[in-house]
Amino acid sequence: MADHAILAGKRVLLVIAGGIAAYKSLELIRRLRERGVTVRAVLTEAGARFVTPLSVQALTEDTVYRDLWSLTDESEMGHIRLSREADLLVVAPATANLLARMAAGMADDLAATVLLATDKPVMVAPAMNVRMWQHAATQANMALLESRGVLRVGPNDGVMACNEYGPGRMAEPMEIVDAIAGFFAAEANRLQGPLAGRRAIVTSGPTHEPIDPVRYIANRSSGKQGHAIAAALAALGAEVTLVSGPTRLPDPAGCRVTHIETAREMLAACEAALPADIAVCAAAVADWRVDGASDRKLKKDGGGPPALALTENPDILATLSQPGERRPALVVGFAAETGDVLAYATAKRARKGCDWIVANDVSPGTGTFGGSDNTVHLIRADGVESWPTMPKDAVATRLAEAVAAFFAGK
């Protein structure tokens, strides 16, 4: 959890759009104000159907900004000023409609105009029905916004007001407070930390390789170690792009996160994030994918089991390690082995062409896969360092410190 002390004195412009989750935004205002944040609020017309302007006004102790055309609002505070006199814009709840308008660059009400006119970072907390969230249009809008640097917190899985189940619930107010604190902490570090000004790419989690629209090949990677490394590098000031396969983990604070499913998507996302100074490939990438995955569900039609032809996936670590102008100065791979860990991992370092390998024993019983602890060896050109068993967060911090020391010595 991020340290909330950093929130004191910060200014947040909160945009409340029209969703049932808007009631949680009232709580969000309270939690932010308790921590010394000045909150100004923009309420959309639909938002005002879910929470009253009076409640928002009472909690922010400020005018509620609602109307692009209101002479009072404009004379007191033009929309340009409103959008710039904040350290961060937070949209909570961010409805499918507002995300679409943001993605399209529309300026058809005060909320959209402020979001278009701002030169400040924007964080969104999506909240909508699960199908609306999963709709290709919303997913494409969200991906576009994230590619432009918009930060996201949630949505969470759960039962929705409409009684459906799945992702779409707005993050809880304290999760949003944490994400905001994480953003400010990362921003402060970006300016001061030892990795300030360095760009990092981290891969994490498993990949899902489709067999047909409903089945896929996957593995047991939880993403815990990779996500922790992304957070640890960001905490030291690096500008981190985390390329994550499907996991149950929340996006780490202060990182840009690209969500992918397949190895090929992971490679494309990594290449899109270049140039970078650091690449850490902690993902458990599927070595194989189904050649010619079916676009229809395979049927049990009496003809026996289907023969699945496999084909090799690209090796992301080896690709990023290839010599060339775009090669990150430091490329780190992982080697999960079940015996002869050091010998295999040393050979892997040479084969992949990376600089360092973090090797660990994932034999059954070690609890590494999915567990919280890890016992690793850091293999570099000049030798091996064996670290004691420690929580994955601590492994991440130590690795990030080693990365910082590497750049300090350059």
Site for ligand C5P, rule CB under 6 A:
203, 263, 281-283, 285, 287, 313, 315-317, 333-335, 348
13's tokens: 């412009």
Q: Where in the sequence numbering do the catalytic residues fall?
A: 162
State the minimum distance, in angstroms, from the CB of residue 280 to ligand C5P: 8
Residue 287 is labelled as binding a ligand? yes
Which is nearer to ligand C5P, 12 or 336 (by Cβ)? 336
Distance of alpha carbon 102 from alpha carbon 21, whole angstroms: 19
Which is nearer to ligand C5P, 344 or 407 (by Cβ)? 344
Which is nearer to ligand C5P, 14 or 403 (by Cβ)? 403
State the minimum distance, in angstroms, from the CB of residue 285 to ligand C5P: 3
Residue 300 is labelled as binding a ligand? no
Q: What is the residue whose two structure tokens read 């994230």? A: 146
Residues 6+ apart with CB under 8 A from 324: none
State the minimum distance, in angstroms, from the CB of residue 5 to ligand C5P: 36
Is residue 258 packed enough to be buried (19+ CB in 10 Å), middle (13-18) or exposed (0-12)?
Answer: buried
Whole-angstrom CA distances from 44 to 16, 127, 131, 394 are 6, 15, 23, 43
Which is nearer to ligand C5P, 96 or 332 (by Cβ)? 332
Residue 410 is labelled as binding a ligand? no
Is-contact 382 406, C-beta < 8 A? no
Which is nearer to ligand C5P, 111 or 336 (by Cβ)? 336
Supply φ then ψ for residue 138, to 5 degrees.
Answer: -65, -45
| Number of residues that this document lists for the chain | 410
Is-contact 243 282, C-beta < 8 A? no
**Sign, CA torsion 279/283/289/293:** negative
State the minimum distance, in angstroms, from the CB of residue 317 to ligand C5P: 3
Q: Which DSSP string do the residues of 349-393 spell out, in sequence order?
A: HHHHT-SEEEEEE--TTS-TTTSSEE-EEEEETTEEEEPPPEEHH
**Angle CA 116–151–100, to nearest 5:** 50
Which is nearer to ligand C5P, 148 or 351 (by Cβ)? 351
State the minimum distance, in angstroms, from the CB of residue 234 to ligand C5P: 19
Residue 299 is labelled as binding a ligand? no
State the minimum distance, in angstroms, from the CB of residue 226 to ligand C5P: 8
Q: Which of 176, 87, 101, 107 is nearest to 141 (CA)?
A: 101
State the minimum distance, in angstroms, from the CB of residue 152 to ligand C5P: 24
**Sign, CA torsion 119/122/128/134:** positive
Which is nearer to ligand C5P, 257 or 285 (by Cβ)? 285
Q: Which of 316, 226, 310, 236 is nearest to 268 (CA)?
A: 316
Residue 277 is labelled as binding a ligand? no
Residue 314 is labelled as binding a ligand? yes
Beta-sheet strands, E only, within 205-329: 209-210, 216-217, 239-244, 256-259, 278-281, 288-290, 310-312
Is-contact 124 150, C-beta < 8 A? yes
Residue 108 is labelled as binding a ligand? no
Binding residues, as ranges, are: 287, 297, 314-317, 334, 348, 352
Binding residues for CTP, as ranges, are: 287, 297, 314-317, 334, 348, 352
